[in-house]
Structure formats: C-alpha cells, structure tokens
Amino acid sequence: MTETNLEQAHTARWRYWALYAIIGIVMLVYVSRLFSLQIINGNEYVSLADENRRSNINLPTQRGLITDRNGYVLAKNVPSYNVVITPAYLPLDDGAIQGVFRELSSLIDLPVSQGELNEETVRLFTPCETDLGITQIVFIADSLAPYDPVRVKCNVDQTTAMVIQEKSADLPGVGIEVEAVRDYPTGELTAEIIGFLGPVPAAYEKYYTDLGFVAGRDKVGYAGIESWMQEELGGKNGLRTVEVDGAGQIIRDLEVPVNPVPGYNVELTIDTRLQAAAKSAVKTELEGWNAWIGEERMTKAAVIAMNPKTGEILALVSYPTFENNRMARQIPADYYQQLVTDPDKPLFNYAISGEFPPGSVYKMASALGILNEDVVTPGQEIEDMGKITILQKYSVNDIGTPREYVCWDEAGHGTVDYLHGIAWSCDVYWYKVGGGYETEVPVGLGIWRMNEYAAAIGYGEPTGIELPGEASGLLPDPTWKRTTLAENWSTGDTYIATMGQGFVLSTPLQVLVSAATIANNGIHMKPTLIKQVTDNEGNVIVPFTPTVVADITKDKVITVYDENSYATDEKISVEPWVIDLAQEGMRLVTLPGGTADSTFATMEIPTAGKTGTAEFCDDMANKKNLCNPGNWPAHAWYIGYAPYDDPEIAVVAFVYYGGEGASVAAPIVRKVMDAYFELNEMDSATVP
C-alpha cells in the first residue's frame, strides 16, 4: 500500500470517528432531553398534559324570585334568545359558508361583512357589543376556540329565534342560546325597593369568582333587595369537568357533573297595591301643587308605610325613581348618564338615604323627655306671646347676646299646656321646655337628655332595614360640634334642636320609626322588608320573626344626667303614662283645632299624627338665593298612624321644599291610609 493510500485511509477513519462522535453527541442530547422530560420532570408534564385535556365548564344557576306579601312577582327570570355560531360546525366550502351567513344576515339584520380585523379590534372584541360583521366575528372565534359557540346577536325576539331553529338544516353551525335575564313586572313602581343587576364589578371580581361566579357572564345585585339579598337570591353555579381534544371539542365527562343550586326566593312585606297608591298620591299631590304655584318646585319626596306592631314595611316610595327594566340585560350608558346627571337624583333613595332637618315632627322626642324628666307637668301652662328672647351664650362666662325666636303663629297661642303644645305645635312652648326659660321653666330638657329620648325612638342610627345606603342622621351635641366645626355649643343650638332644626338631621324612615314606637306603646320595632325566604320547592328557609329593638317602657335605655349635664351610670326607662299622653297629644293634632284637622277631622277611622315644617338652607337654596334670614324655604313633613286605639299602619310623608307639612305632606298620608283600609275591606270581602 502506497503512502498516499495510507494517508487516505487515515483521513477516512478520522472522518468516520468524527461522524460517530457527532451522532453520539446528538443521541446524548436527545437521551438527556428525554430523560429530563420523562424521568426528572415527567410528573409535571403529565399534569400539564392532563390539564390541557381537562376543561371545567361553569353551569349558570337560576336566580331566585322576589315577590310581595301577596305573592305578586316583582322580579323574575325570563328567557332571552341569542343567535350563536359554532365555527367548527360550519360547512367546509367557503361558498356554502357565505351562503349561511347571507341567509342569517337577512334574519337578524346584521351585515355579512363589516369592519376591519386588526390587533385592536380583536383585542376589544366583545360578543353582541361590536360593530363587526358576521364574517369577522366568526373568524375571531374560529381562531380562538372553533368548538365554542360565539354570540353573533343577542336578545332577538322569540319569533326570529323560532325561525332560525326551524331552518337549522339550512343553517349548519348556527344555533339559538337561551339565556335567563331579569324582568321586573312592576318596573319603576318598585324600582327603589327591588333595585337591579349588573356585571360582576372589577373591584369585587375575586370575591365573586371565589363564590363560583363568572365575570363577564354572571350578574349580581347592584341596588335594592337585589343587592342586599344577593347571597340568598344568587344561588350557586354548577360545574362540569370534561375531556376535550386539541381543538376544544368535548369528548366525554371526566367527573360526575355538579348541578347548579337555584337561588332562594324572597317574599317581601310590601303590598304592591298600597305601593301603587302611595306613589300615585305623591305624584298627584306634587303635580297639583306645582301647577298651582306655576313652577316645578316640588320634585323630590318620600313616603313609607309600616305596621308599627311588627315593623313590616308595607310601602316605600322614593320620588323620582327610575325604570329598572332598562337595566335588565345591560346598563345602558346613555340612560345611566341621564340618571346620574339629573339634579333630582332618581337613583338616590330619599326614603332611607336622605338626611334632612325633621322640623316639628322631632318635637315628639322632647315630648317624652320633658314629662319623664319632670321638666314640666302635663297640666302646667306655658305662656306664648308669639316670640321669645334668650341670651345666646357660647360658654358659662359669656355675657350673651339677645336673640329672638318666633312662633309659627306670630300672634301667639296664649297659655299652652302639654297636650296643646303638641296639638298646636306651639314653637314657643317647645323653646322654653327644651332650653329652659327664666322662672317659668328653670331647667329645660337640654341637648344631652333630648338626644337620649330621640335615640330611644329611632333617631341617630341606621335602622338596619334591608336596603344598601341607609344613612345615620345626626343627633348633635357639644362634643360633636367642637370636634366637627371647632366651635362651642351655644344656648341657641339647644333651643332650635328642640324644634328639629339646626344641626339635627334624620331620614324619613327614622321619623316613621319614631312615630311607630309611640303608636306601639313604646315598643321600638326594627323595620323590615323581608317577610320570609323560601327555597325552590316552597320550603321556608328563613321565617318571619318581628324584631324588638327595645321596649322603652321596660328596658332602661335612657342615661341619667346630673345637674351639670354629666352622664351618670344610672339608666331609666320611659313611664307608660308618658307614652299615653304623647299619643293623646298626637290624637288632638287630627281633631278640630289641631294642625292637621283640615285633612283628618273628617276621617271615619280615628287617627293621630304630627305635622312638621322644617326650614333649610342647602346648596339648592343658596343657588336660588332662597336663604333669606327669617324666610328660609321649608320641607314638608307629616307622620301619622291609625286606628288611634289599635294601630295597624303608620305613615310618613316628606316633600323636599314642600313648605307646610299640614298642607302638602298630610294629604299624602291621608290618601295612603284611605287606600290601606279600602284594601283591607276588599280583602276581607273576598275571604269565604
């Protein structure tokens, strides 16, 4: 063998070894990778593969119904029909696909092709809320999940849905999805009570997701009973765990499906018929007065009716209100914007959230205190010459500045005893017994003791009614004023607080509870809208149980203050005879000579009540230059109950900027009471 041949053989061997080495290295890499995938990380990848083939399908539940006390449905679920397309089930031929799209377009009035597909339109794409055509919608869905139906058009009418189903053979891949949506048969009549639904809020998405809700699909309560009773009404979604192939097509169930649990049904204490009568009374009265005045002045009001013995709310009106059916499928941006920019705030519940000076209806808190604390005796006569002058002091050593307070009757009422102080709503009487006056009333009730009696009958704290957004009102005192306003309490603050003016604030519901407590012989009941809660089969889950907050004639709820106005550890209750006399005074309000006699003196069923005219100066009044000293605008109030000797119903009416309570608010209460007793008579006549 020549030297050349030897050199060639050596080179060949070297090349073979190099090739073998490369092959070995490649094999080693593959083996190492396989070892890593199958041995070291095998369990992890098995889990990932198993996860890819498993899919959890959240099954929507049915929301519970809301009814009134007579079974009348106030909120229910109705079917909404959505047109859907499953891309994987469309014909294979492009021409046939376009034929399906053209046929569907003529049925649902949606263009076959519209809009451009780009990164932004795909990112912002939301079914049923897009301007894209059918072709573009299906293209996006096919690229994401070809076996998942995509909504092309939502909420089509039932006739169109039936036509599409009948044409299913000619429209492969096209189907009808039936979705439950909320319907409110009574609409705006009960909107302030029932509320409405909305999508899961972003701020609470984790909370609702943990409960099994699906953001972007499920709806939750946004206002009213729908919000407060969300846990009971919402139910629980079901779950189906399935195996899917790479394209997302369902192959089989991997686990036994968990069926959805329907929401509970909620029966309210409301009588829809009385609710209608109350809302009609408000609208009629306000429209009549506005026509007489010649301007749209009275535009906001609240009326609430309650059974004082049980706390059941029979009607609750906040005016103006809104149409909650317009929120059933989605919350329209234009309508919502209209509501939030309306100066009368239709979404605001004036009955429970509005805080206003209560005016003379608040005198009933002091009426209990001045007798129970021996400030005056029932027969003691107080002189009313039409006005009173006091020294306005901010401290004990302050020499004071004379300040004049006048009675609503500038001529005065002459000598006034306790019962007529209530019946005539004599301001001077209440000034003197509240703040004291010379030797006639050496020591008045005072702000600290006044607040005790007001709190005992429902002022100063939320009542706990089952509606979101309830306000607390305000029982002011020297500590509050120093802390909040950095000012000392003045003697005048006490005098006007006795009148329910100054810093005192309350909600219409609190005013109603105060009257109901007196009507109920001192038993303070918690107001409630919930009669009972039942399951889907009618079984009672939560029965109705009246809740007694306190019996102020037995429970020691009044803190005793010493002669220096310091709280002691001693507590007392209210004497029953004090409640009796307060009731008697309220009875005189409705009889000849009382402040509400023109409205109630002719009522066959004996009733009792209290008028209120509360001066105010808020942003609205300032903008209209109405805050003129001595001539402020006023809200109208009236509280009443009937029958006087065995109360079945207590009613409060509040009219913002309504003026005199006797003229504007009292007639509303009378109409509600008349409707209540007429309905009772009708119901009694139908019972065999």
What was the pLDDT predicted at 239? 79
16 domain-assigned: no
Expressed as residue numbers, the domain containing 596 is: 272-686
Q: Where does a domain end: 268, 294, 311?
A: 268
CA nearest to 243, candidates 147, 150, 142, 172: 147
63 Cβ contact partners less than 8 Å away, ≥ 6 residues apart: 77, 180, 182, 233, 234, 235, 262, 263
Q: Is the pLDDT of residue 52 over 60?
A: no
Of 55-69, 415-429, 583-597, the poorest mean pLDDT is in 55-69
Helix (H, G, I), strand (E, B) or coil at 53: helix
> How many separate domains does the chain show?
2
Through-space distance between the first and last CA atoms of the chain, rounded to whole angstroms: 131
What was the pLDDT predicted at 4? 61
Do the beta carbons of residue 311 and residue 525 sit within 8 Å? yes
Residues above pLDDT 90, as percent of the chain: 63
Tell me the average pLDDT across 660-676. 97
Instruction: Return d(Cα 420, Cα 469) in angstroms, integer.
Output: 38
> Do residues 137 and 88 share a domain?
yes
Confidence of residue 48 (pLDDT cuts 50, 70, 90): very low
Tens of pLDDT, residue by residue over 2-15, are: 656 656 656 666 66
Instruction: Return d(Cα 484, Cα 493) in angstroms, integer.
Output: 15
> Do residues 90 and 171 share a domain?
yes
> Do residues 611 and 640 share a domain?
yes
Distances from the Cα of 70 to the Cα of 117, 271, 531, 615, 683, angstroms: 54, 7, 10, 40, 11
What was the pLDDT predicted at 599? 95
176 domain-assigned: yes
Q: Is the pLDDT of residue 470 over 80?
A: yes
Instruction: Return d(Cα 430, Cα 207) in angstroms, integer.
Output: 52
Whether the link from the prior residue into 643 is cis, omega within 30° of 0, is yes
Q: Is the pLDDT of residue 658 over 60?
A: yes
CATH number of the domain where residue 60 is located:
3.90.1310.10
Scanning the structure block, which residue is given the tokens 């499906």? 257
Using only C-alpha atoms, the chain has a radius of gyration, in whole angstroms, of: 36
Scanning the structure block, which residue is given the tokens 């003697």? 491
Average model confidence (pLDDT) for the chain? Answer: 90
CATH number of the domain where residue 427 is located:
3.40.710.10
> Do residues 262 and 277 share a domain?
no
Do the beta carbons of residue 96 and residue 254 sit within 8 Å? no
Instruction: Return d(Cα 263, Cα 66) in angstroms, integer.
Output: 11
Q: What pTM was computed for the model?
A: 0.88
Q: Tell which wins on pLDDT, 47 or 272.
A: 272
Tens of pLDDT, residue by residue over 292-336, are: 999 999 999 999 999 999 999 999 999 999 999 998 877 888 899
> Do residues 223 and 331 share a domain?
no
Confidence of residue 653 (pLDDT cuts 50, 70, 90): very high
> Do residues 295 and 281 share a domain?
yes
41 domain-assigned: no
> Do residues 128 and 171 share a domain?
yes
Tens of pLDDT, residue by residue over 511-534, are: 999 999 999 999 999 999 999 999
> Do residues 290 and 220 share a domain?
no
Do the beta carbons of residue 244 and residue 55 sit within 8 Å? yes
- The count of C-alpha atoms lying within 13 angstroms of the C-alpha of 256, restricted to the half-sphere facing its C-beta, is 0
Q: What is the token pair recorded at 626?
A: 């109405």
Q: Where does a domain end: 217, 235, 268?
A: 268
Q: Is the pLDDT of residue 143 over 50?
A: yes
> Do residues 260 and 329 share a domain?
no
38 domain-assigned: no
Do the beta carbons of residue 432 and residue 370 sit within 8 Å? no
> Do residues 197 and 281 share a domain?
no
Residue 87 per-residue DSSP state: G
Tens of pLDDT, residue by residue over 171-197, are: 898 989 888 889 999 999 999 999 999
Q: Where does a domain end: 211, 233, 268?
A: 268
Tell me the average pLDDT across 419-423. 97
Q: What is the token pair recorded at 668?
A: 């509303």
What was the pLDDT predicted at 680? 94
**DSSP per-residue letters across 567-626:** EEEEEE---HHHHHHHHHHHHHHTSTTSTTHHHHTT-SS--EEEEEEEE---HHHHHTT-
Of 71-80, 122-131, 375-384, 443-452, the poorest mean pLDDT is in 122-131
7 domain-assigned: no
What was the pLDDT predicted at 440? 95
Q: Is the pLDDT of residue 93 over 50?
A: yes
466 domain-assigned: yes
Tens of pLDDT, residue by residue over 12-40, are: 666 667 777 777 777 777 766 666 656 66
Q: What is the dihedral of CA 120, 123, 127, 128, to 10 degrees?
A: -30
Do the beta carbons of residue 494 and residue 434 sit within 8 Å? yes
Give me the phi and psi of 439, to 5 degrees please: -85, -10
125 domain-assigned: yes
What was the pLDDT predicted at 276? 98
Tens of pLDDT, residue by residue over 384-407, are: 998 999 988 898 888 889 999 899
What was the pLDDT predicted at 260? 85
- The count of C-alpha atoms lying within 13 angstroms of the C-alpha of 548, restricted to the half-sphere facing its C-beta, is 11
> Do residues 463 and 577 share a domain?
yes
Helices within 89-133 (DSSP H only)? 94-108, 119-123
Q: What is the token pair recorded at 646?
A: 């065995």
Q: Is the pLDDT of residue 616 over 50?
A: yes
Other residues' Cβ atoms within 10 Å of the Cβ of residue 173: 19
218 domain-assigned: yes
> Do residues 211 and 319 share a domain?
no
